[in-house]
């Protein structure tokens, strides 16, 4: 079954499939299409929702959190067409990509099937209504949190990034296991829920949060907010931050540069309603769900959206991974150029690191500095689209593939972005080198000069975001000296061992979080070479 047929059938409610089984499935999926009147949101059946996210506050007596054996929602995910079908996308009529050399197209076997929903992961179900013109977002959020910390928890801490923007975040109500929870505090980015009863290890609880966001105007080329034709929603819903045995909840202070958030992987479902003329770029594929559009993303750090009524879209694929480039009028060559580079990047990274971790990749033009990565979605600065003159020797491609590499080094293998930012930033920067090495082998010297040595980098690779001084000094130390360290490490290890290390590192910490110790333990599993001089040269600590 062709994925394109399924999608078009679902969109216009005109099933054209001939197979009886598929037709039956489609009828089931489309039952709500038959009704001429708006239907209530159809909430997912793959997880038992223990609380209606649309419910008004009710005086339901407090139910103590049960043990996992009694309260565990049943995960009976129905197959997602896009992962069980062979995808043969029809090229967009506006897109005329030059066919890739055969060696650049990853074997479909190397591309990912998303992991199934995992009952021990935090599960988010969000119902959100976006008023694009009024810049408002109304959200009912249900969080199923399973205590894997090994200790009883008297509180749960959530990150609420929109609350850092004055007046943007309004909290209406919080529930725990269907009972209103009033013992909470919201202070800047930190929402602390003081639980009436401790949540025991290996127990689960269900939290409900109703909130509204008055989306702020984008400031200083920051991401979160609206401008004249686009709304970027990043880190927009409250999420439970990681908890560590030493130190407890992990929620670092923000900095003007560098990322301060740390995420565990989670399973996320978003049901979104917005205007018919609004095009949404998202971290996951869209499925019709009555009058809602549903997105499901498994094993990811965060779910990200960008909405515009002016997006143009170019589309391609690598194996089963659908890649879409969202750009604006006047930037067609750049929008298609970065799509072509993305196909090359996903192909080579899937072969050299690990299968691509998600079902889709969205590349979104927006008004920011440089670029920014999220699971299944990357933003790239509009300036780079404007500067694009074709080819691969430019910021659009080098920064673009950097952000795409973060799908592996941030998304698949997480880390503490504030205290050990080199683990994702050094890796993403060196992945640019790998992109050029395999796709444009004659551009190696150009890349080192253009992206690294032009800035005469100095500083220690293991610099936290709080110790870097200026943005330039921080990136010189972490990103650029990091690239030189990786090159020296590779020469010391030999190519075969180096690439074996990269694959092993991605596999060992897949959907987890790696630390500095994890990085070097994996390196040393692949070489017996003495690294002490490299450590002295590049790192402030000895590992
Ligand atoms: Zn980066």
The reported pLDDT for the residue numbered 128 is 98
- Distance, CA 225 to ligand 1 centroid (Å)? 21
Quote the distance between the C-alpha of residue 435 and its chain's center: 21
End-to-end alpha-carbon separation of the chain, Å?
51
> Is pLDDT of 104 > 60?
no
User: Separation of 483 CA from ligand 1 center, angstroms?
Assistant: 12
Residues 163 and 122 in one domain: yes
> Burial level of 361, CB count in 10 A (0-12/13-18/19+)?
buried
Question: For residues 205 and 248, what is the distance between their CA atoms, to the nearest angstrom?
Answer: 19
> Residue range 124-128: average pLDDT?
98
The answer to whether residue 105 sits within a structural domain is: no
The alpha carbon of 371 and the centre of ligand 1 are apart by a number of angstroms equal to 8
Q: Bigger pLDDT: 333 or 49?
A: 333
Beta bridge partners, 206, equal 144
Residues 398 and 512 in one domain: yes
Write out the residues surrounding ion ligand 1, Cβ under 5 A: 425, 428
Tell me how far apart the alpha carbons of residues 194 and 128 are, in angstroms, rounded to a whole number: 26
H or E segment to which residue 384 belongs: helix 382-387
- One domain, residues 204 and 288: yes
Work out the angle at residue 146's Cα, subtended by the Cα atoms of residues 141 and 150, and round it to the nearest 5 degrees: 145
Rounded CA-CA distance 182/189 in Å is: 18
Three-state DSSP state, 352: helix
Domain co-membership, 238 together with 321: no
Q: Cα of 520 to ligand 1 centre, how many Å?
A: 21
Asked if pLDDT for residue 121 goes beyond 70, the answer is yes
Rounded distance, CA 8 to CA 4, Å?
A: 6
* 354 & 378 share domain: yes
Across 301-317, average pLDDT: 98
**Does one domain contain both 215 and 122?**
yes
Domain membership of residue 10 as a residue range: 1-37
CA of 403 to the centre of ligand 1 (A): 6
Residue 244 clears pLDDT 50, i.e. is over it:
yes
Domain assignment present for residue 99? The answer is no
Better pLDDT: 63 or 514? 514
pLDDT number for residue 494:
98
Considering the domain architecture, whether residues 479 and 538 belong to the same structural domain is answered as yes
Cα(334) to ligand 1 centroid in Å equals 20
Same domain, 500 and 385: yes
Please check whether residue 182 lies inside any domain of the structure: yes
Please tell me the distance from the alpha carbon of residue 49 to that of residue 140, in angstroms, as a whole number: 12
In a domain, 89, yes or no: no
**pLDDT score, position 114:** 55
Q: Rounded to the nearest whole angstrom, what is the distance from the C-alpha of residue 208 to the centroid of ligand 1? A: 33
User: Which H or E run contains 130?
Assistant: strand 122-131
Q: Domain with 327 in it: what CATH number?
A: 1.10.390.10
Distance CA 436, CA 447 (A): 8
Q: What pLDDT band is residue 66 in, cutting at 50, 70 and 90?
A: very low
pLDDT category of residue 468 using cuts at 50, 70 and 90: confident
98: in domain: no
CA of 465 to the centre of ligand 1 (A): 13
- 62 belongs to a structural domain: yes
Assigned domain for 153 exists: yes
Query: Could you tell me the maximum CA-CA distance found in the chain, to the nearest angstrom?
Result: 72
- Are both 187 and 211 inside the same structural domain? yes
Q: Which of 42 and 409 is assigned the larger pLDDT?
A: 409
Closest alpha carbon to 323 in 364, 382, 369 = 364
3-class DSSP assignment, residue 41:
coil
Q: What is the distance, to the nearest Å, from the Cα of residue 479 to the centroid of all Cα atoms in its chain? A: 20
DSSP string, 253-264: PP-SSS------
With left for phi above 0 and alpha for psi between -120 and 50, is residue 128 left, alpha or beta? beta
Count of domains observed in the chain: 3
Output the DSSP codes for 471-528. Answer: HHHHHIIIIIHHHHHHHHHHHHH-HHHHHHHHHHHHHHTTTEE--HHHHHHHHHTS--
Task: Quote the CA–CA distance of 263 and 246 in Å, as a whole number.
Answer: 17
494 C-alpha to center of ligand 1: Å?
A: 26
Q: How far is the CA of 259 from the centre of ligand 1 (A)?
A: 9
Name the domain boundary from 264, 294, 310. 310
The band of 221, judged by pLDDT with boundaries at 50, 70 and 90, is: low
Distance 428 CA to ligand 1 centre (A): 6
In this prediction, residues 479-498 reach a mean pLDDT of 98
- Are 336 and 283 found together in one domain? no
Half-sphere exposure of 66 (CA within 13 A, CB side): 9
What are the DSSP calls for 208-260, one per residue? EEEEEEEPPBP-TT-SSEEETTEEEE-S-S-EEPPEETTTEE--PPP-SSS--
- 3-class DSSP assignment, residue 167: coil
- Last residue within a domain, chosen from 286, 310, 334: 310
Radius of gyration of the chain measured on its C-alpha atoms: 23
Q: Is the pLDDT of residue 105 over 80?
A: no
CATH of the domain at 190: 2.60.40.1730
Of 290, 310, 330, which closes a domain? Answer: 310
Q: Are residues 315 and 292 in the same domain?
A: no
Residue 246: Cβ-neighbour burial (10 angstroms; 0-12, 13-18, 19+): exposed
Which is more confident, 483 or 112? 483
What distance in Å separates the CA atoms of residue 19 and residue 207, rounded to the nearest whole number?
41
The residue count of the chain comes to: 543
* pLDDT over threshold 50, residue 37: no
Q: Quick one: what percent of the chain has pLDDT higher than 90?
A: 76
C-alpha 64 – ligand 1 centre gap (Å): 43
Ligand 1 centroid–CA 406 distance in Å is 7
Please indicate, yes or no, whether residues 425 and 338 belong to a single structural domain of this protein: yes
Q: Which string of DSSP letters, residue by residue, matches 1-28? A: --HHHHHHHHHHT------HHHHHHHHH
For residue 411, the SS3 value is: coil
Residue 139: is it exposed, middle or buried by C-beta count within 10 angstroms (0-12/13-18/19+)?
A: buried
Q: How many CA atoms lie within 13 A of 38 on its CB side?
A: 5
């Amino acid at each position: 079954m062709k994925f394109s047929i399924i999608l078009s059938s679902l969109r216009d409610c005109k099933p054209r499939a001939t197979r009886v089984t598929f037709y039956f499935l489609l009828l089931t999926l489309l039952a709500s299409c038959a009704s001429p009147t708006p239907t209530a949101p159809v909430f997912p059946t793959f997880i038992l929702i223990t609380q209606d996210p649309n419910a008004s506050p009710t005086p339901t007596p407090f139910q103590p959190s049960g043990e996992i054996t009694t309260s565990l929602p049943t995960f009976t995910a129905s197959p997602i067409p896009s992962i069980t079908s062979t995808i043969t996308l029809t090229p967009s009529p506006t897109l005329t990509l030059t066919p890739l050399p055969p060696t650049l197209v990853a074997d479909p076997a190397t591309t990912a099937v998303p992991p199934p929903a995992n009952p021990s992961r935090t599960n988010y179900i969000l119902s959100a209504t976006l008023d694009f013109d009024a810049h408002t977002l109304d959200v009912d959020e249900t969080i199923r949190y399973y205590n894997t910390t090994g200790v009883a928890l008297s509180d749960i801490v959530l990150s609420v990034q929109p609350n850092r923007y004055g007046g943007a975040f309004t909290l209406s109500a919080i529930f725990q296991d269907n009972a209103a929870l009033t013992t909470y505090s919201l202070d800047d980015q930190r929402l602390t829920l003081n639980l009436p009863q401790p949540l025991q290890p290996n127990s689960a609880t269900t939290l409900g949060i109703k909130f509204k966001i008055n989306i702020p105007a984008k400031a200083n080329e920051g991401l979160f907010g609206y401008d004249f034709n686009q709304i970027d929603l990043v880190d927009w819903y409250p999420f439970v931050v990681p908890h560590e045995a030493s130190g407890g909840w992990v929620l670092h202070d923000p900095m003007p540069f560098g990322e301060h958030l740390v995420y565990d992987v989670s399973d996320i479902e978003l049901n979104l309603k917005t205007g018919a003329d609004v095009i949404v770029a998202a971290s996951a594929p869209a499925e019709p769900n009555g009058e809602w559009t549903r997105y499901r993303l498994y094993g990811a750090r965060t779910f990200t959206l960008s909405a515009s009524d002016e997006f143009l879209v170019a589309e391609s694929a690598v194996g089963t991974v659908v890649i879409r480039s969202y750009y604006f009028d006047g930037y067609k060559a750049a929008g298609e150029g970065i799509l072509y580079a993305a196909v090359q990047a996903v192909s080579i990274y899937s072969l050299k690191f690990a299968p691509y971790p998600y079902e889709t990749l969205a590349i979104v033009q927006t008004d920011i500095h440089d670029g920014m990565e999220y699971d299944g979605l990357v933003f790239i600065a509009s300036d780079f689209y404007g500067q694009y003159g074709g080819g691969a020797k430019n910021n659009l491609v080098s920064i673009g593939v950097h952000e795409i590499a973060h799908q592996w080094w941030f998304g698949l293998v997480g880390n503490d972005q504030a205290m050990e930012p080199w683990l994702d930033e050094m890796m993403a920067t060196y992945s640019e080198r790998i992109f050029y090495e395999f796709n444009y082998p004659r551009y190696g010297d150009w890349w080192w000069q253009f992206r690294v040595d032009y800035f005469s980098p100095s500083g220690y690779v293991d610099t936290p975001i709080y110790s870097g001084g200026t943005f330039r000094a921080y990136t010189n130390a972490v990103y650029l000296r990091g690239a030189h360290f990786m090159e020296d490490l590779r020469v010391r290890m030999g190519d075969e061992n180096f690439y074996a290390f990269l694959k092993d590192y991605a596999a060992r910490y897949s959907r987890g979080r790696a630390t500095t110790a994890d990085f070097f333990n994996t390196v040393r599993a692949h070489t017996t070479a003495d690294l002490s001089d490299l450590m002295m040269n590049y790192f402030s600590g000895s590992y």
